[in-house]
Amino acid sequence: MTRHQKRKIDETHVEQGHEELDAASLREHEEFTKVKNIAKIELGKYEIDTWYFSPFPPEYNDSAKLFFCEFCLNFMKRKEQLQRHMKKCDLKHPPGDEIYRCGTLSMFEVDGKKNKVYGQNLCYLAKLFLDHKTLYYDVDLFLFYILCECDDRGCHMVGYFSKEKHSEEAYNLACILTLPPYQRKGYGKFLIAFSYELSKKEGKVGTPERPLSDLGLLSYRGYWTRVLLEILKKHKSNISIKELSDMTAIKADDILSTLQSLDLIQYRKGQHVICADPKVLDRHLKAAGRGGLDVDVSKLIWTPYKEQG
């Protein structure tokens, strides 16, 4: 089952695994899962306050703080356990293929099937900072793209996005997170842009998995606005939504909704027409803010999943 199908089932049935609960017990369960169970984590040089509940195995629920290995993402209850682990752990980067390196930034592709424990640990960690994420233990169906800052000690995780290996709905991104110490530095925008560069390499259009959080929609609307308006500014002749979609790998529906939200679409003689007054474009571009870190496509060395052996 894809996540989308599973979510459809979850929306029409009682949450799976809780069928035996009556309505009152289910509400109690939902209230319990809203309460943070882990208050802090230590990851690399950072101590981070958590934001949300994450369903760690029961034996970890009495821990106010968990200690994560920043390379393999194994987690422990005590600092001494982490110190012992670090002496044995020989990883200095995520356990996958490095597909991008530009300056000190690096991207690794981790296959959930080949690195199941890492994928599950990443989901536990991410849920501490994501409100709407459903936790999936079946990470086999996903690829994880881990963004790292690299120094002489190794490659330190900054954030990530996940992606279904085979999505019928053309989803090119499932979950996205920048860890709190690295937020507001343009990394989220970089991850969104990176997901579209992968779609271009695949020769497909892409769109993020729905439903998007309010913040997610804001980030994507900003990205779509910047990319589309930069093209419209340079493009002197007529251009169709289909052509924009082919150039950017952005799904036509997302292009249409973005341009409509900016009042750049008019309906004339039975078809949508893009109205691109340069002054109006500049005003919208300024409002959309800056684009964050650029993806240098020449540094991306990647083979789409279906072509791998």
The dihedrals phi and psi of 157, each to the nearest 5 degrees, come to -65, 130
C-alpha 125/C-alpha 130 separation (Å) is 9
Residue 4 confidence (pLDDT): 53
- Residues forming a β-bridge with 116: none
Which pLDDT value is given to residue 237? 80
Cα separation, 294 vs 189, in Å, equals: 9
Domains of the chain: 35-299 (3.40.630.30)
What pLDDT sits at residue 128? 94
Q: What is the pLDDT along the chain (309 residues), one digit of tens a residue?
A: 455 554 444 433 333 334 445 566 656 655 555 678 899 999 999 999 999 999 999 999 888 999 999 999 999 999 999 999 999 999 999 999 999 999 999 999 999 999 999 999 999 999 999 887 666 668 999 999 999 999 999 999 999 999 999 999 999 999 999 999 999 999 999 999 999 999 999 999 999 999 887 778 889 999 999 999 999 999 878 889 999 999 999 999 999 999 999 999 887 888 878 888 889 999 999 999 888 899 999 999 999 987 454
The token pair that represents 65 in the structure block: 């703080």
Which of the residues are catalytic? 209
280-308: burial string, b at 16+ Cβ within 10 Å, e else = ebeebbeebeebbbebeeeebeeeeeeee
Q: What is the pTM of this model?
A: 0.86
DSSP 8-class letter at 112:
T
Which three-class secondary structure state does DSSP give residue 208? strand
Alpha-carbon Rg of the chain, whole angstroms?
Answer: 21
State residue 105's pLDDT score. 98
By the 8 A CB rule, do 229 and 281 touch? yes
* 3-class DSSP state of 173: strand
Cβ neighbors of 215 (< 8 A, separation 6 or more) are none
